[in-house]
Amino acid sequence: MIAQLRTGERQFALILSGMVALVGLAMAAVGQGDPMGAHGWIVLLFAGVVFCLLLRSLEDPEPSEDRTAVYYDDPTKVGILISLFWAVVAMGMGVWVASQLAWPDLRFDAAWSSFGRIRPVHTSGVIFGFGGNALIATSFHVMQRTSRARLAGQISPWFVLLGFNLFCIVAASGYLMGVTQSKEYAEPEWYADIWLVIVWVTYFTLYIRTLARRNEPHIYVANWYYLAFILVMAILHIVNNLAIPASFTGAKSYSAFSGVQDAMIQWWYGHNAVAFFLTAGFLGMLYYFLPKRAERPIYSYRLSILSFWGIVFFYIWVGSHHLHYTALPQWVQTLGMTFSVMLLIPSWASAGNALMTLNGAWHKVRDDAVLRFMMVAAVFYGLSTFEGSFMAVRAVNSLSHYTDWTVGHVHSGAMGWVAMIVFGSIYAVVPLLWRKETMYSWKLVEWHFWLALAGTVVYVFAMWNSGITQGLMWRTYTESGTLAYSFTDTLVAMHPYYIARAFGGALFLTGAILCAINVVMTIRRVPERVPELDHPTSSEAGEPAVPAGE
């Protein structure tokens, strides 16, 4: 891969990684005794490894072919593999942390393995590690293919990919050390946040530059979704993470906002992160890979554009529905609630559009597990957005707030929509990228699909039950007006559901592991095919969805 770079580029990369290593060294020195110091060593190690890899291949011969005549797929390929790595690790953490709820002794009495510390490793790991890498990798793929132009940079894609993963590593290691801002999905501390801004600005610039040099005048709708994801996340991240470090030698910082004001900012961020990271970004994936795999154009292109603008304008104000029945003023809560309900329209427009695209291709959905992943993802997207709008209504929220139902909602979206569309897209794009005839095993893909679906259903049903049970128990009063159940009573009632939850997650994790194995075996074992330039992605060209006789 390094051999794909010119000498000048390798040198530039060396300088970059050297600089990062120096920063790591500085952090290690300055932050001695503080978790920041440990982070410094991690940064130094990461940058050092990159540095050494570059150094080793510095003298390799330069690429001879005309690079503008081919797409730049190395960052995409590496991004997909990293995404799968994070999937396994972070979902594993999820199973562990869910199991701790049922069996608290799984903490093994250490600080780093306590619930509060490994939980964010799971959330950040799946959202940023698994999801974020998948978005970066697929966005590189989609923007090149739809612009019919090569990525606008040689080093910047790597900077984005590796820099982003450095952020993820610093975040995860930080959590284990106890470093946290206590803001959901925004836990990493100030120096990690600054680093992410640098990486993200590079990502945005790269995207715009690639689009600017496009050879296809029309900007395909998926690019709009990706761009919205990148731009809005940048703004959200900056505003929500405005903080003053206690000192520049330590990880601790104080938020620029406080109290209920801070809560509002946090959930303005939190919900928009869901909207633009977990929804808009993955809709970009859906709008490209689903029509490609189904070999049918989007049912209504006009509708996809309309729902894009609808989502962009409706989502921003939805956040306060996380703060029903808190100190947040009533009218702000109502505002959030109103927009949450209105949001249903563009969301269902997208889900409906995706499903109508499959009209006429249902036989393919039956036979092709990859397309089935995508279809189920679209269905769960519709379900989750309905569930979300429903739960945002204050009356419903009075039952669901703080219960497991919220967790169930998150996971129906995360497992049913986000993860499934990622897996579908990965299976669709891996044979193309590595120029293989087929995936290593279609049987494994089928297994993965059913495990994922089963895991999601088990998990969500468990959480629906436990959430409603909790909610009802918490608001049951005796005749004298006191609470009928103590908190411990509710915990006891939750126990079987916690076990079911861990089990569902374990099923899902197994599926993800199968995916990782399948992809690796595909890369190593499956013979290459002669590229058919006229028909890049096809579910049926030489790839039986389910091999006969198996």
Partner 1 sequence: MGKLPQINATRVNLTLRRIEIRPAAADADLEGILTVLSQIGHPATLIETADMQDAGTDIAGNALLRAMAVAGFGAMNVMLMSVSVWAGAEAPMRDVFHVLSAMIAVPVVVFSGRFFLISAWGALRGGHVNMDVPITLALILALGLSLFETLRGGEEVFFDAALTLTFFLLIGRYLDHRMRRRARSAMAGLSRLTVKNALQVCPDGQVRSVAAEDITPEMVLRIPAGERMPVDVRILRGATDLDRALVTGESLPVSAGPGAEIEAGAMNLTGPVDVIALRAMSESFVADMSRMLATAEEGRGRYVRIADRAARLYVPVIHILAAVTFVGWYFATGDWQRSAFIAISVLIVTCPCALALAVPVAHVVAAGRLMREGILLKDGSALERLAQVDHAAFDKTGTLTTDTVMLRANLPDDAVTIAVLATLAGHSAHPAATAIARGLPPATTVLHDITETPGHGVEGRLADGRAVRLGRASWVGAIASADCNGEGPAFAIEGKPMVRIPLGESLREGAEAAVSALRTCGIGCEILSGDTEGPVARIALQLGGLPYAHGLSPAGKVARLRSFEGDGQRVLMVGDGLNDTPALAAAHVSISPASATDAGRAAADFVFLGASLAAVPVALRLARRTARVVRQNFGLAIVYNCIAVPLAMAGHVTPLIAAIAMSASSVLVVANSLRLNRGGDTVAPAVRKWNPTGEVPA
Partner 2 sequence: MNVLIVLIPVSLAMGIVGVAAFLWSLRAEQYEDLSGDAERILYAEDRPISSKKSEPAQRKKETPP
Binding-site member from 105, 331, 478, 549 for partner 1 (CB under 8 A)? 331
Residue 328 is given by DSSP the state: S
Question: For residue 98, what are the contacts with CB-CB under 8 A and spacing of at least 6?
Answer: 498, 501, 502, 505
Long-range own/partner contacts, residues 298-304 (CB < 8 A, 24 or more apart)? 298/221, 298/353, 298/357, 299/353, 299/354, 299/356, 299/357, 299/359, 300/353, 300/356, 301/221, 303/349, 303/353, 304/221, 304/350, 304/353
Binding-site member from 130, 191, 225, 317 for partner 2 (CB under 8 A)? 317
Q: What does the per-residue mask of binding to partner 2 show for 146-175, with x meaning CB under 8 A? A: x-xxx-------------------------
How is 260-279 classified by DSSP, letter by letter?
Answer: HHHHHHHHHHHHHIIIIIII
Q: Please give the residues from 349 up to 408 whose contact with partner 1 meets the rule CB under 8 A.
A: 360
Q: Please give the residues from 420 up to 459 whose contact with partner 2 meets the rule CB under 8 A.
A: 432
Binding-site member from 329, 496, 531, 544 for partner 1 (CB under 8 A)? 329
Q: Which stretch binds partner 2 (CB under 8 A): 156-164, 328-336, 359-367, 397-405?
A: 328-336
Which of partner 2, partner 1, none does residue 110 bind (CB under 5 to 8 Å by kind)? none
Compute φ and ψ for 145, nearest 5 degrees.
Answer: -65, -40
Which of partner 1, partner 2, none does residue 347 bind (CB under 5 to 8 Å by kind)? none
- Nearest CB to partner 2, comparing residues 7 and 330: 330
Q: Determine the 3-state secondary structure of 241 from DSSP.
A: coil
Q: 74-102 and 133-147 helices cross at what angle (nearest 10)?
A: 150
Binding-site member from 217, 481, 527, 549 for partner 2 (CB under 8 A)? 217
Binding-site member from 9, 262, 295, 367 for partner 1 (CB under 8 A)? 295
Q: How many other β-carbons are positioned within 10 Å of the β-carbon of residue 209?
A: 13
- Nearest CB to partner 1, comparing residues 334 and 406: 334
Q: How many other β-carbons are positioned within 10 Å of the β-carbon of residue 239?
A: 14
Shortest distance, CB of residue 7 to partner 1, whole angstroms?
36
Q: What does the per-residue mask of binding to partner 2 show for 192-211, with x meaning CB under 8 A? A: --------------------
335 binds partner 1 per the rule CB under 8 A: yes
Shortest distance, CB of residue 321 to partner 2, whole angstroms?
15
Q: Which stretch binds partner 1 (CB under 8 A): 4-12, 144-152, 203-211, 331-339?
A: 331-339
334 binds partner 1 per the rule CB under 8 A: yes
Binding-site member from 103, 248, 254, 313 for partner 1 (CB under 8 A)? 313
Pairing of strands 243-245, 253-255: antiparallel
- Nearest CB to partner 2, comparing residues 44 and 298: 298
Q: How many other β-carbons are positioned within 10 Å of the β-carbon of residue 152?
A: 21
In the block, tokens 């996971």 appear at: 411
What is the spatial distance between Cα 71 and Cα 145, in angstroms, rounded to a whole number?
8
What is the spatial distance between Cα 138 and Cα 428, in angstroms, rounded to a whole number?
11
288 binds partner 1 per the rule CB under 8 A: no
Shortest distance, CB of residue 533 to partner 2, whole angstroms?
5
Rounded to the nearest 10°, the torsion over CA 314, 194, 15, 56 is -80
Tokens at 434, concatenated: 């590595």
What is the spatial distance between Cα 147 and Cα 10, in angstroms, rounded to a whole number?
27
Tokens at 451, concatenated: 């495990």
Task: Give the interface with partner 1 as residue ranges (CB under 8 A).
Answer: 217, 295, 313-314, 317, 329-335, 338-339, 360
Task: Give the interface with partner 2 as residue ranges (CB under 8 A).
Answer: 68-71, 144-146, 148-150, 215-221, 231-232, 235, 239, 257, 261-262, 264-265, 268, 288, 291-292, 295-298, 301-302, 305, 309, 312-313, 316-317, 328-329, 332, 432, 531, 533-534, 536
